[in-house]
Structure 1
């Protein structure tokens, strides 16, 4: 289930590529470089987008400027092996690649290797932030790590954080206290997520001026969370942000088309 926010409504759409207007390739004469930041489902969002490219017959490469978990799939590669990349792009349609790292993870490739990846004429998806699997995040000074070549930034938030304490749900809760002017024992509200997503020191931090900035509200898995997502969209509109996507698992009760 994917909605886009339009004219004060959530309108169902077929794909993330459609919602991000990526179906017509060749943005500014280049293929897309999409960086996912924030928390609450970055890897899931990139999986979804990569699978859409594969279904469309368009090869895609996924990498990280921080860390991602290496999955037990043959298209997850440790190290820049160009022959292996070509083989898996032909065979599986996608490659997830990073430098070998402890704990079953893939880490950032070297600058030289990233430059090589950027020369491949295929869409490049990047996990550019880490959040210890929490639904919300406020970045530290060294975060996120967004390449200047990025054409689209996806700032991801988990709707399951609303109603829970800041200290339970926000990575770097001490920074969230300052930004939200709240105690970490207080609960997260819809307005709090809008504040984080709109802030130049949080959700929009490091976003290149030429990149399209999109807020992704993830885990809209029931009507209550969809209503919360719409409330956040309205708060974001007040702050000048209208490009918002809402994602979640589809159920029969949610197939309404427009909310």
Structure 2
């Protein structure tokens, strides 16, 4: 059941970090991910179910603590009608935008009003500035779950943090309703497109070097992000997935969503 507009307006963006079998409320996504304000992190985001939303949230949080941040892509992002979205800018234009807005989203124009990967020279310059860089490194065409094709994801070796995002709404839906790269997902999970997604399916994807962890650079911190856990029941689903991920050896899991004041079972 979809939430009413009144319900959405009465909720706020929340996040939790999983540890000791429970979800612990964090004051920000920045805190939940264990980021250091003084660290020039390069954060690549892959998967489905809210990559761009995650990037927006991180960019806004960096700006709120007074840090300049660049967001980019190694695949494609939608160009938005905001002055800090720049198409084919010079390095000076990026710097000017950062001074004015704190954040700048950069790319090369491609079809459909989107931005593709910026020129290598500009990318290298931005990385040399030692400021946080956020990168959408995967595409899922708005599906909440995917398995990467051979050429995916596109993760730069300078990545210090890799976030693998899944939408919690996949649980209980059929494969064909929620999966991008459906045929690959059928083969990997050993299921047909009419079968439902389970907790175990998400865990199998998230813990695999051929799926969620594919291309993760040595030394990068790998975090699974379970997104859209807006309702108490969805946070309970997320908690069960967290516990299974822990058993599969995944140490860092963050849950995000929109919430009211009521805590879910197992939350502190």
Using structure 1 for the length normalisation, give the TM-score: 0.95
15, 20, 24: which one pairs with 2:33?
A: 20
Distance 1:76 1:221, change over 3 A: same
Establish whether residue 249 from structure 1 lines up as the match of residue 258 from structure 2.
yes
Q: Report 1:158-237 matches (<5 A).
A: 158-237=167-246
How far apart, CA to CA, are the structure 1 residues paired with 2:266 and 2:78? 35
SS of the residue 2:259 aligns to: coil
What's the counterpart of residue 10 of structure 2? none
What's the counterpart of residue 5 of structure 1? 18
The offset of 1:70, in angstroms, is: 0.4
The offset of 1:91, in angstroms, is: 1.2
How far apart, CA to CA, are the structure 1 residues paired with 2:173 and 2:149? 22
Contact residue 54 and residue 94 of structure 1 kept, 8 A: yes
Q: Answer with 46-55 or 81-90: which moved more.
A: 81-90
130, 133, 151: which one pairs with 2:139?
A: 130
Distance 1:80 1:224, change over 3 A: same
How far apart, CA to CA, are the structure 2 residues paired with 1:252 and 1:86? 40
Contact residue 144 and residue 169 of structure 2 kept, 8 A: yes
The offset of 1:111, in angstroms, is: 2.3
The offset of 1:247, in angstroms, is: 0.1
Give unmatched runs, 5+ long, in structure 1: none
Contact residue 233 and residue 242 of structure 1 kept, 8 A: no
Contact residue 153 and residue 215 of structure 2 kept, 8 A: yes
What's the counterpart of residue 63 of structure 1? 72
What's the counterpart of residue 239 of structure 1? 248
How far apart, CA to CA, are the structure 2 residues paired with 1:197 and 1:216? 10
What's the counterpart of residue 55 of structure 2? 46
Contact residue 18 and residue 24 of structure 2 kept, 8 A: yes
The offset of 1:213, in angstroms, is: 0.1
How far apart, CA to CA, are the structure 2 residues paired with 1:132 and 1:170? 10
The offset of 1:257, in angstroms, is: 9.4
What's the counterpart of residue 94 of structure 1? 103
Aligned residues: 255
How far apart, CA to CA, are the structure 1 residues paired with 2:206 and 2:264? 27
Distance 1:55 1:236, change over 3 A: same
The offset of 1:21, in angstroms, is: 1.5
RMSD: 1.4
The offset of 1:24, in angstroms, is: 4.2
How far apart, CA to CA, are the structure 1 residues paired with 2:132 and 2:126? 10
Contact residue 72 and residue 134 of structure 2 kept, 8 A: yes
What's the counterpart of residue 36 of structure 1? 45
Distance 1:149 1:240, change over 3 A: same
How far apart, CA to CA, are the structure 2 residues paired with 1:64 and 1:14? 27
